[in-house]
Amino acid sequence: RPARFTLDPAFTVGAVNPRLFGSFVEHLGRCVYTGVFEPGHPAADAEGLRQDVLDLVRELGVTAVRYPGGNFVSGYKWEDSVGPVEDRPRRLDLAWRSTETNRFGLSEYIAFLKKIGPRAEPMMAVNLGTRGVAEALELQEYANHPSGTALSDLRAEHGDKDPFGIRLWCLGNEMDGPWQTGHKTAQEYGRVAAETARAMRQIDPDVELVACGSSSQAMETFGAWEATVLQETYDLVDHISLHAYYEPHDGDVDSFLASAVDMESFIENVVATCDHVGARLKSKKRINLSFDEWNVWYMSRTEAQVSVLDWPEAPRILEDNYSVLDAVVFGSLLIALLRHADRVTVACLAQLVNVIAPIMTEPGGPAWRQTTFFPFSQASRYGRGEVLDVRVDSPTYDTAKYGEADLLHATAVRAEDGSVTVFAVNRSRTEALPLEVALGGLHLTEVVEHSALADADPDARNTLAEPERVVPHTVDGTALADGRLTAALEPLSWNVIRLR
Ligand code: AHR
């Protein structure tokens, strides 16, 4: 039987915040070095930024870019990363058993964002692992104070007269994780996050602050962590973070395909926890969600890779090469974020280049798009506007992890001009899924395009040798008549159906 849903302009979820299409650049592996930054590369500009990568970043459509970590931030000394490059120290990066040269630092990050274009916004993390309130304040003064103080004048002396204007700040990273340098209990972290937030607001009451939530829904402390941290920080922060990565376990592809079931329940459980704390505090304020790390990540391979490192510079680690199957799951994660756009107001795809990334590069060589590039760029381009409330009536399939799951996962976004884009995933590995959408009251008359990412070989990938093996294709036969859309979604496919 077909999968069905109804779209009605009277029933909406909320407006999409452009920050939903954020990404993440960490000093990790080759994300920075030989990724975004490679002086001497034929495509590098005078500042060492790769123009070929910048072109792809613009095409991807990223907005907020989180930096400099990740686990890296818990050892980060911001002052190592500014000033004359020849004076910057080399440091041990405990998080990734690597050597950090600091050739790329704060100023280069801001230059990189400016070159992406006006839509790119900084999202800076402060170190609350091995450092605290004082260093966060110093970084904020260096970055944002106009002039006339030691640190703002130092910035000008370093060549950046204009303040960086960083508005969005993360108060540490994954402080709930025992792997984090300077890991804390919820109570310990809640206190230091509150004091850091209070002090940062003394410099500038308009900063937007993200408190660390859980590193995944599976953490033992999940739920209690958020409640304790928010009890301490509720009036002082704007967002709480969520992180989630998905991979197939023991070859269980059917559960992997339904990963968004976990992501949606994670979001809903964090919303419930935020609102519960708000109710207890009798607060009218609403805390929003910053899903500032999400992706498909074959994490089980990473530990072995990292544990044998002997402090190299920019090692090849976490360079997952994504298949069509991975891209379909990835698209479904994007759908999950859009479906919760009322509360998820920041999201960062982890990461941007080379490290579990949509863009890959070869040192001295080309840059290319992974399979996951396409769902992200299409969602960022067409997923702007108001999310419509989509309640699917879909055939289901069995999964070991999540029980019965819908074969169809979908959302729809209505743009300002009234056009609508449906994003849909068919989770069936073998069968096409007929789709019927009733478009009551939307006054749509035409299918502009039905684009799909699917392949006879779900394991197909883009590689250095074959960088365009997988690209989206146009689907014929999708029709709109009498207020009803009909389409067939190929097995294991990501679909973008544009209507006007
Ligand atoms: O994105 C890779 C790593 O995943 C980040 O450094 C960390 O925050 C998370 O565990």
In three-state form (DSSP H/G/I as H, E/B as E, the rest C), the secondary structure along 109-129 is HHHHHHHHCCCCEEEEEECCC
Q: Whose CA is nearest to atom 3 of ligand 1?
A: 70
Taking alpha carbons only, the member of 286, 285, 292 closest to residue 213 is 292
Cis, peptide link before residue 231, omega less than 30° from 0 = no
Dist CA 178 CA 236 (whole Å): 25
Last residue of a domain, one of 363, 382, 401: 382
Answer yes or no: do 160 and 26 share one domain: yes
**Quick check: CB of 399 below 6 Å from ligand 1?**
no
Both 453 and 355 in one domain: the answer is no
CA nearest ligand 1 atom 5, residue: 70
Q: Is the CB of 350 under 6 A from ligand 1?
A: yes
Q: What is the ipTM for the molecules in this complex? A: 0.99
* Ligand 1 midpoint to CA 278 (Å): 29
pLDDT value for 440: 82
Q: Are residues 378 and 398 in the same domain?
A: no
Residue 59 catalytic? no
Q: Are residues 352 and 414 in the same domain?
A: no
pLDDT of the residue at 303: 82
* Ligand 1, atom nearest to 215 Cα: 10
pLDDT at position 240:
98
Residue 301's pLDDT is what? 86
What residue numbers bound the domain in which 471 lies?
3-9+389-499
Among candidate residues 382, 413, 444, the one where a domain is terminated: 382
Ligand 1 atom nearest the C-alpha of 174 is 8
Please give the pLDDT value at position 300.
Answer: 86
CA of 479 to the centre of ligand 1 (A): 43
Specify whether 301 is located in the same domain as 406. no
The Cα 74–Cα 97 span in angstroms is 13
Q: Is 79 in the pocket of ligand 1 (CB under 6 A)?
A: no
Residue 373 shares a structural domain with residue 401: no
351 in ligand 1 pocket by Cβ < 6 Å? yes
Q: Which residues contact 101 (CB under 8 A, 6 or more apart)?
A: 33, 88, 90, 313
Catalytic residue list contains 293 = yes
Q: Helix/strand/coil (H, E, C) string of 224-264?
A: HHHHHHHHHHCCCCCEEEEEEEECCCCCCHHHHHCHHHHHH
- For residue 201, the model assigns a pLDDT of 98
Q: Give the chain's domain count.
A: 2
Is there a single domain that holds both residue 170 and residue 285?
A: yes
241 and 199 fall within a common domain: yes
Nearest atom in ligand 1 to 245's CA: 4
The CATH number assigned to the domain holding 477 equals 2.60.40.1180
Helix (H, G, I), strand (E, B) or coil at 332: helix
User: Are 73 and 213 within one domain?
Assistant: yes
173 lines ligand 1 (CB under 6 A): yes
Of these residues, 174, 226, 232, 264, which one is catalytic? Answer: 174
Which of 173, 210, 296 gets mutated to test ligand 1 (max ligand atoms within 8 A of its CB)?
173
Residues 110 and 216 occupy one common structural domain = yes
Ligand 1: residue whose CA is nearest its atom 2: 70
Which residue among 357, 382, 407 closes a domain? 382
Atom in ligand 1 nearest the alpha carbon of residue 26: 6
Residue 71 CA to ligand 1 center (angstroms) comes to 6
Residues 206 and 285 in one domain: yes
Domain CATH code at residue 85: 3.20.20.80
Pocket flag, ligand 1, residue 35 (CB < 6 Å): no
Q: Whose CA is nearest to atom 6 of ligand 1?
A: 70
490 lines ligand 1 (CB under 6 A): no
Residue nearest to atom 9 of ligand 1 (CA): 70
317 and 445 fall within a common domain: no
Q: What's the predicted TM-score (pTM) here?
A: 0.98
Mutate to test the pocket of ligand 1, among 32, 66, 71 (most ligand atoms within 8 A of CB): 71
110/221 Cα distance (integer angstroms): 35
Region for 359 from its dihedrals, namely left if φ exceeds 0, alpha if ψ lies in -120 to 50, beta otherwise: beta
pLDDT means over runs of 10, the chain (500 residues): 96 98 98 98 98 98 98 98 98 98 98 96 98 98 98 98 98 98 98 98 98 98 98 98 97 98 98 98 98 96 90 97 98 98 98 98 98 98 98 98 98 97 98 96 95 98 98 98 96 98
Q: How far is the CA of 377 from the centre of ligand 1 (A)?
A: 22
326 lines ligand 1 (CB under 6 A): no
